[in-house]
């Protein structure tokens, strides 16, 4: 991906999601896809950290603002672009924590979404270039918050690693 950045695109309209993914892939990004917020969290659990989430606001099972809360809990540094047919002001009213939230109104063109993704990822790059210690600290803090500790033996399971230890801990079985 340009600059090593990886976006996650999600929305319940499969054709539009696939078109967006193809457009971003053609620009050199590695794009992960999900059809709703619940599936997006599963993808993140499986794949690890992404730099940007492009999400519809209204989706089945888990809407965009609810997804944002969960994303912030897991990784406070993740950036999000909400796409919606609703007015930006209406969408922002439903978001308690709108730091680093961008908005792209529907309908939009492939050029518009490509430009928006490039701009948001460019801001991340600028921040990293101007203050790399801040980025390292943010990533470290986000990683620590997502690290699980086995209460039986103290094993640390870092983000992105399989969580099989928790069901197979020999300390638990020995008790």
**pLDDT tens-place string over residues 78-129:** 888 988 876 556 666 666 555 568 888 888 888 998 899 988 888 877 766 6
Q: Please answer whether residues 24 and 16 qualify as being in contact, where contact means their C-beta atoms are separated by less than 8 angstroms.
A: no
Name the band, by pLDDT with cuts 50, 70 and 90, for residue 136.
low
Cα–Cα separations (whole angstroms), residue 86 to 31, 58, 89, 166: 25, 10, 8, 43
Q: Reply yes or no on whether the pLDDT at 147 is more than 70.
A: no
Q: Reply yes or no on whether the pLDDT at 175 is more than 60.
A: no
pLDDT, tens digit (0-9, with 9 covering 90-100), for 68-91: 888 888 887 788 898 887 655 666
Cα–Cα distance for residue pair 64/83, rounded to 1 Å: 9
The dihedral through the CA atoms of 88, 91, 92, 98 has a sign that is: negative
CB under 8 Å to 154, separation ≥6 — which residues?
none
CB under 8 Å to 87, separation ≥6 — which residues?
105
Average pLDDT for residues 5-30, to the nearest whole number?
77
Q: Give the percent of the chain with pLDDT over 90.
A: 2
Q: Please answer whether residues 91 and 82 qualify as being in contact, where contact means their C-beta atoms are separated by less than 8 angstroms.
A: yes
pLDDT at 1: 42
Q: Please answer whether residues 81 and 103 qualify as being in contact, where contact means their C-beta atoms are separated by less than 8 angstroms.
A: yes
pLDDT at 4: 46
Pairing of strands 148-149, 156-157: antiparallel
Q: Please answer whether residues 81 and 118 qualify as being in contact, where contact means their C-beta atoms are separated by less than 8 angstroms.
A: no
Average pLDDT for residues 12-19, to the nearest whole number?
79
């Amino acid at each position: 991906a340009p600059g090593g950045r990886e976006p996650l695109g999600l929305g319940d309209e499969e054709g539009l999601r696939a078109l967006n993914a193809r457009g971003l892939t053609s620009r050199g990004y590695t794009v992960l896809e999900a059809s709703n917020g619940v599936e997006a969290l599963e993808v993140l659990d499986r794949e690890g950290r992404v730099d940007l989430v492009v999400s519809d606001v209204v989706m089945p099972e888990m809407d965009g603002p609810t997804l944002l809360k969960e994303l912030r809990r897991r990784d406070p540094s993740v950036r999000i672009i909400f796409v919606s047919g609703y007015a930006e002001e209406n969408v922002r009213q439903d978001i308690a924590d709108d730091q680093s939230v961008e908005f792209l109104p529907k309908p939009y063109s492939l050029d518009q979404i490509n430009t928006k993704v490039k701009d948001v990822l460019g801001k991340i790059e600028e921040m990293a270039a101007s203050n790399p210690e801040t980025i390292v600290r943010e990533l470290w803090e986000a990683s620590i918050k997502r690290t699980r500790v086995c209460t039986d033996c103290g094993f640390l399971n870092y983000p992105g690693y399989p969580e099989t230890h928790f069901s197979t801990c020999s300390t638990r079985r020995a008790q």
